[in-house]
Amino acid sequence: MGKEQNLEFALAKEACPACGALVDGPILMNTQLTKDEAEKTKNLHGKVIGYLKDPCDSCQDLMSKGFLLIGVIEEKTDDEKNPWRSGHQWVINPNAAKDLFPDTSKGVAFIDIKAAKQIGLPVKDLDNKQSNENTNLQ
């Protein structure tokens, strides 16, 4: 008879709250040493379990250069707290951001790509088959 596996580990993923990029998250371990809890933990391996506390390194690098705008598509957004990201990113002057966004203290904001185009930001063709994959947590 084989020994039951009552202890499992998993490397989960988390999403950047700004751009939605996936990064390696915490290493999880079941604390209840039962077969069922071990299986639940094992099933979390490679899965997205939530958002990072702070933006990813790439977004933080862009934010160090100015105010970061993340393009979203409002028509595809079901959850206001988790907008559909288009893959567009722009860095603008923080002083200009104060005129557009009331809370510039975070250094990042979402902007609908139609509005971005109206204010003169470059917007790539979204009908292009090579569009960026979107990460939306359910």
Residues 79-94 pLDDT 10s: 888 899 999 999 999 8
Q: Point out the least confidently predicted range of 48-52, 63-67, 106-110.
A: 106-110
* CB contact set of 127 (below 8 Å; sequence gap of 6+): none
pLDDT of 130: 36
Please state the pTM of the whole predicted model: 0.74
Q: Tell me the average pLDDT across 56-77.
A: 94
Q: Grade residue 133 by pLDDT with cuts at 50, 70 and 90.
A: very low
Its sign, for the CA torsion 70, 74, 78, 80, is positive
Q: Average pLDDT of 3-29?
A: 91
